[in-house]
């Protein structure tokens, strides 16, 4: 079955700097890769997603890149702000999995003012 | 759009009692809903997949008689934790998909504390 690994587990950056979180997946048939932001005590919030037929997607300060050959995808946050501090989860949906998400272990991002 | 609500947001109950958690899709019809459990500082663990009008599909290791799931309509799924014990204390989160694509929208979660 699919396995998603996420690094780093914690990341501390200075406000205004960029943050990069990386994930790898094992099932080459996976075709959908969302990223979620979870603030303390709340449910995950979708921030960006990418499908396997696209290499990069950007939404303001957030971008996601996908390398199908290497089976890894990354989240890039530019000009970080203190309100970006949260836990970020990557995920993958293998083909024919009834839309079940396979989550990474999460990255705790701290943006220092 | 694509808003999912949960009720209650937190609940405290005595050991041995049952607790029902509701998950609603507010502005769309959810063909499929999912129930997750999350322990502190850990990732989300899928418990079961719920399809409207049919029996839920449970993940390996999840007791179906312990965690009863009902998906009676396209906008409501319920999770009942039966005969709750302290080890059932956790953060329970539901999600739903619209049926148009595979994007899952999550609810705000329910924190359960069993005394």
Q: Do B106 and A49 touch (CB under 8 A)?
A: no
Interface with chain B: mutation pick from A40, A52, A99, A102, highest number of B CBs within 10 Å: A99
pLDDT category of residue A83 using cuts at 50, 70 and 90: very high
Residue of A nearest to B6 (CA): A43
A36-62: per-residue pLDDT in tens?
A: 999 999 999 999 999 988 899 999 999
pLDDT category of residue B1 using cuts at 50, 70 and 90: low
What pLDDT does residue A94 have? Answer: 82
Cβ contacts (< 8 Å) between B6 and chain A: which residues? 43
Burial B37-62 (b: 16+ CB within 10 A, else e): bbeeeebbbbbbbbebeeebebeeeb
Interface with chain B: mutation pick from A44, A89, A97, highest number of B CBs within 10 Å: A44
CA dihedral B35, B39, B43, B48 (to 10 degrees): -20
Interface size between A and B, measured as CB pairs under 8 A: 50
Contact A74, A22 (CB under 8 A): yes
A4-27: per-residue pLDDT in tens?
A: 999 999 999 999 999 999 999 999
What pLDDT does residue A72 have? Answer: 95
Helix (H), strand (E), coil (C) string for B38-83: ECCCCCEEEEEEEECCCCCEECCCCCCCCEEEEEEECCEEEEEECC
B40-98: per-residue pLDDT in tens?
A: 999 999 999 998 888 899 999 999 999 999 988 899 999 999 999 999 999 999 999 98
Distance, in angstroms, between B114 CA and closest chain A CA? 17
Burial A72-84 (b: 16+ CB within 10 A, else e): bbbbbbeebeeeb
What pLDDT does residue B52 have? Answer: 83
Q: Do B107 and A43 touch (CB under 8 A)?
A: yes
Collect all residues from A whose CB is shorter than 8 A from any CB in B.
Answer: 32, 34, 36, 41-46, 49, 89, 93, 98-101, 103-106
On the question of pLDDT at A30 being above 70, the answer is: yes
**B17 Cβ neighbours under 8 A, 6+ residues apart:** B83, B84
Higher pLDDT, B31 or B95: B95
CA distances from B97 to A84, A98, B4 (A): 26, 11, 10
């Amino acid at each position: 079955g699919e396995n998603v690994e996420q690094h780093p587990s914690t990341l501390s950056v200075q406000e205004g700097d960029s943050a990069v979180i990386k994930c790898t997946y094992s099932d080459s048939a996976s075709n959908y890769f969302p990223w979620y932001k979870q603030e303390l005590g709340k449910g995950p919030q979708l921030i960006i997603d990418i499908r396997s037929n696209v290499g990069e997607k950007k939404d303001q300060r957030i971008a996601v890149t996908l390398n199908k050959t290497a089976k890894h995808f990354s989240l890039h946050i530019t000009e970080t702000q203190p309100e970006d501090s949260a836990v970020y989860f990557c995920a993958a949906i293998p083909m024919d999995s009834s839309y079940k998400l396979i989550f990474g272990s999460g990255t705790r991002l701290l943006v220092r003012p | 759009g694509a808003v999912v609500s949960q009720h209650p947001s937190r609940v405290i109950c005595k050991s041995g009692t049952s607790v029902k958690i509701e998950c609603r899709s507010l502005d769309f019809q959810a063909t499929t809903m999912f129930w997750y459990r999350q322990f502190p500082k850990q990732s989300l663990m899928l418990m079961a997949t719920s399809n409207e009008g049919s029996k839920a599909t449970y993940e390996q290791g999840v007791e179906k008689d312990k965690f009863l799931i009902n998906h009676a309509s396209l906008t409501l799924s319920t999770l009942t934790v039966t005969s709750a014990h302290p080890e059932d204390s956790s953060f329970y989160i539901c999600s739903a998909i619209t049926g148009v694509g595979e994007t899952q929208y999550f609810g705000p979660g329910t924190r359960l504390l069993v005394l």
